[in-house]
Amino acid sequence: MRAWPALISGVLFGLGLTLSGMSDPAKVLGFLNITGAWIPDLIFVMGGAVVVTFLITPLVTAREAPLLASTFSLPGKQLLDRRLVGGAVLFGIGWGLSGYCPGPALVSLLYGYESTVVFCLAMFAGMALEGPLSRLFAPS
Amino acid sequence: MNAYLLPLTGGVLLGLSAMWLLLSLGRIAGISGIAWGSLAGPERLWRTLFLVGLLLGGLLTHNVIGQPVPAESTAPLWLIVTSGLLVGLGTRMGGGCTSGHGVCGLGRRSPRSLVATLTFMTLGVITVLVMQSLMGDAV
């Protein structure tokens, strides 16, 4: 599989996150703060993105194969399970505490702020802990 | 200029980024998965290039287009650490974040992604409400 197309995709993603204001945690918290001085920007960000993916995804996946790889690598799971919902609950709480989700946090490393560096280190630590923690609490 | 033109343009770019990755490499543009995979593998190269591109995109916005850099979060560091740990843990456990489940999954009409997106959005809103009442304007 070739790798260079991912660079283009990354540039577009970084442009999208920063132009839209998603890399500003105050704006994200302002969006989640529905009872306060609500900032609706994120509706337009998510709306714009999802309209594009909703319309184009079926056209792409109707193809036999991607342009530069042999197969599509799409998540195969269909069933809802506790890991999905539990993970989304933990992620939602974490997101609401700082206003950072993974994309905006990573692109904000550019700004050289202590808080974004600390956030990203903690995020990778959390990712590394997921395996051991899940095994610890898994019903045996 | 309309205040929502930039958020909308940014959103469309996020969608186009995801569609290019799907069309070219057949992959989902899920940032939590790409970030973890760039360290833990397999196939680190395309994931690393994506992240390099992500930073280049940010540079273009702030250094070429000239959009101002947002201010640093005012949250205390213990809160940032807690937040980062939960985001890392939760996105690995739930198999995605705002991009993988939100942008890509909703586009794929995935029921799992719809449930995940509604769940983390709701918890985000509740968390902000709780923190506002506990800490006031400090957060």
Smallest Cβ–Cβ distance between A119 and the set B84, B123, B124 belongs to: B84
Q: Is B37 left (phi over 0), alpha (psi -120 to 50) or beta?
A: alpha
In the block, tokens 């974004």 appear at A116
- Expressed as residue numbers, the domain containing A53 is 4-137
Residue A9 has pLDDT above 70, yes or no: yes
Tell me what pLDDT residue A137 has: 82
| Mean of pLDDT values over A92-115 | 98
Tell me what pLDDT residue A94 has: 98
CA distance B59 to A112: 12
Contact criterion met (CB < 8 Å) for B89 and A18: no
pLDDT digits (tens, 9 = 90+) for A23-41: 999 999 999 999 988 999 9
Q: What is the 8-class DSSP label of residue B109?
A: T
CA distance A107 to A116: 9
* Residue A20, token pair as written in the block: 């839209």
Look up the ipTM and state it. Answer: 0.96
Smallest Cβ–Cβ distance between A20 and the set B11, B79, B117 belongs to: B11
Q: Tell me, yes or no, if the pTM score tops 0.90.
A: yes
Q: Which residues contact A28 (CB under 8 A, 6 or more apart)?
A: A22, A42, A95, A99, A100, A101, A104
**Number of structural domains found in chain A:** 1
Residue A17 has pLDDT above 60, yes or no: yes
CA distance A32 to B95: 22
Tell me what pLDDT residue B41 has: 84
